[in-house]
Amino acid sequence: MNSREEIHLHLAIVTHVKKHSTLYNDSYSAYVNHYKKIGYCHKFINHQAHFVSSIFEDIHTNTVERLWRTVKTDLKKSKVTTKYVFGIARFTFLRILTKTEKIAALSKGLKFTH
């Protein structure tokens, strides 16, 4: 990853991911420990060395790969070919949020005027 890609990744995360969220990714040196410094819980795995993380036992390659495969399948079913952020947001809303979280998100997003 070059510095331009690192900047785009950093901007995307600080723009779209709530502080104190947990980020899961590989152990690429560009972001190991970086996100912890700016207010995120950062869990990572070195895919080349481990199947299950030796540092974070709750993450392993199956979890990450399974989630990504499910997201990609949902994007294909929904015929999302551009605007992937909206497709992933839709997936998150429909498949991951609880009913209470959905109601709260809708209530916050809807503004009624008379």
- pLDDT tens-digit profile of 87-102? 888 888 888 888 998 8
- For the whole prediction, is pTM greater than 0.85? no
Q: What single-letter amino acid sits at 88?
A: I
CA separation for the pair 71, 94 (Å, rounded): 11
Q: What average pLDDT does range 54-81 have in this prediction?
A: 79
Token pair belonging to 54: 């030796």
Closest CA relative to residue 70, chosen from 82, 60, 62: 62
- pLDDT tens-digit profile of 1-54? 455 567 777 788 888 888 888 887 776 656 666 777 788 887 777 767 766 666
Report phi then psi at 17, rounded to 5. -115, 125
